[in-house]
């Protein structure tokens, strides 16, 4: 039985966030491993590409005059019931507690003994922000507690889940997030002129004084938790000592404010806001330091992708980031909000000598040794088989 292909549904937010990235990669990898995979959502996840063995099922959230807010949770639960029935699902793997684990709980209640096993992967703010909000805590607790298995990407989030949901004995498996180290690779040689060309191609003023200078980079969804104003503050401090560039990749609520600040300081020739980018590898590869000054971070997938490309990371010493970034090798951890300390850490990496190259190699080695996709996908597959075995399905 253990080698039989499984019928798995994956549910996630179809956004640029790390949870959607990880969910899409798990689903596509499971399909490549011979399992039958069904993505369920309002849209396919951003990183989803057509893969034999993987199908997408759209959730239609219909509006009616009586609704003030169309109930996505219920439409999703109903679609889960349909797909579970038609595909005879073994596993329903939901990413992000609210509302996905809740919809799964409802679908399981409808399906009764025919229900697939529910695997819930928690990602971060679903516990630390939404789960901690009394408007959602009781429902989050029930949905997590009733899952057949719960996974998280870091020890930090396991502890936070037990504390926030007041479930001290909850069985939680830590499966770190992962990266495809064959796709996210360092360049043969870093070429600053690639970044110069990018600045020229994307329009706006450029500055020849930084033509061959280093580039700092940040990738996120520009939510307040990412502290993108700190990214700019760190850049300003570094740039005052060592003229350099900054690439800001992604989009979200704080982008307009930080972009306006960069403009008002006359930084446009050296700072580019690229918005959302699908192909990160050629951008990351030619950058020098990745900045992640977040308020909290259960893991930090974008930082891991940079590390796999040989880019050292300077990050806040919060949440799960100490599991990812080794403050001694290939990166620096600095207290959240300490923009002077972060600037010093960046400057130490960019000092003349071998330090930047050495840190890049260490960052890459850490990604390959601890966060390579294969073994961590094995852990998910083992988790699926364990919950099925436990119930004798």
Residues that bind ligand GMT in the complex, under the rule CB under 6 A: 17-20, 22, 123-126, 153, 177, 225, 296-301
Q: Which is nearer to ligand GMT, 84 or 301 (CB)?
A: 301
**Which tokens hold the place of 263?**
């403009």
Query: What is the rounded CA–CA span in Å between residue 184 and residue 310?
Result: 9
Pairing of strands 271-275, 245-249: parallel
Q: Which is nearer to ligand GMT, 17 or 331 (CB)?
A: 17
Closest residue to ligand GMT, based on beta-carbon distance: 124
Q: Which residue's CB is nearer to ligand GMT, number 39 or number 299? A: 299
Min dist CB 111 to ligand GMT, Å, is: 27
Nearer to ligand GMT, 199 or 299 (CB): 299
CB of 243 to ligand GMT, least distance (A): 31
Closest separation between CB of residue 360 and ligand GMT, Å?
Answer: 21
Minimum distance, C-beta of residue 319 to ligand GMT, in the bound complex (Å): 6
Q: Distances from the Cα of 24 to the Cαs of 29, 152, 166, 312, 351, in angstroms?
A: 8, 16, 30, 26, 39
When the beta carbons of 303 and 350 are compared against ligand GMT, the nearer one is 303
Q: Which of 69, 82, 123 is nearest to 100 (CA)?
A: 123
- Alpha-helix residue ranges (DSSP H) falling in 55-146: 72-87, 102-111, 125-128, 137-145
**Which residue in the block uniquely carries the two structure tokens 């064959």?**
182
Q: How many other C-beta atoms lie within 10 A of the C-beta of residue 380?
A: 23
Q: Which of 327, 357, 370, 376 is nearest to 186 (CA)?
A: 357
Cβ-based nearer residue to ligand GMT, 19 or 239: 19
Nearest distance in Å: CB 358, ligand GMT? 26
For the chain, what is the total number of helices (H) and then of strands (E)? 15, 13
As measured in angstroms, the least distance from the Cβ of 295 to ligand GMT is 8
């Amino acid at each position: 039985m253990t080698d039989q292909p499984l019928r798995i549904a994956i549910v996630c937010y179809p956004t640029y966030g790390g949870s959607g990235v990880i969910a899409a990669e798990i689903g596509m990898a499971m399909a490549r491993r011979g399992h039958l995979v069904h993505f369920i959502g309002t849209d396919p996840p951003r990183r989803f590409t057509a893969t034999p063995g993987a199908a997408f099922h759209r959730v239609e959230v219909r509006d009616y005059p009586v609704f003030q807010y169309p109930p996505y949770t219920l439409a999703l639960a109903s679609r889960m019931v349909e797909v579970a029935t038609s595909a005879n699902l073994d596993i329903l793997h939901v990413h992000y507690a609210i509302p996905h684990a809740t919809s799964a709980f409802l679908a399981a209640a409808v399906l009764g003994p025919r229900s697939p096993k529910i695997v819930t992967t928690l990602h971060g703010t679903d516990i630390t922000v939404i789960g901690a909000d009394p408007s959602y805590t009781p429902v989050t607790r029930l949905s997590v507690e009733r899952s057949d298995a719960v996974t998280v990407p870091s020890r930090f989030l396991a502890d936070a889940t037990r504390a926030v949901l007041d479930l001290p004995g909850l069985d939680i498996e830590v499966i770190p997030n992962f990266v495809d180290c064959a796709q996210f690779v360092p360049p043969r040689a870093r070429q600053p002129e690639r970044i110069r060309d990018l600045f020229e191609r994307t329009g706006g003023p450029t500055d020849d004084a930084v033509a061959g200078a280093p580039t700092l980079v940040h990738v996120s969804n520009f939510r307040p938790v990412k502290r993108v104003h700190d990214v700019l503050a760190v850049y300003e401090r570094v740039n005052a000592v060592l003229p350099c560039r900054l690439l800001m990749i992604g989009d979200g609520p704080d982008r307009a404010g930080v972009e306006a600040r960069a403009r008002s300081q006359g930084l446009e020739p050296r700072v580019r806001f690229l918005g959302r980018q699908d192909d990160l590898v050629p951008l990351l590869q030619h950058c020098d330091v990745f900045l992640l000054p977040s308020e909290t971070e259960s893991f930090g997938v974008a930082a891991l992708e940079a590390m796999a490309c040989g880019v050292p990371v300077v990050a806040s010493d919060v949440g799960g980031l100490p599991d990812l970034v080794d403050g001694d090798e290939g990166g620096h951890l600095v207290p959240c909000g300490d923009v002077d300390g972060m600037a010093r850490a960046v400057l130490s990496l960019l000092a003349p000598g071998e330090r930047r190259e050495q840190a890049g190699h260490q960052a890459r080695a850490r990604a390959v040794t601890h966060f390579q996709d294969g073994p961590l996908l094995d852990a998910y597959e083992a988790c699926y088989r364990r919950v099925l075995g436990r119930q004798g399905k």
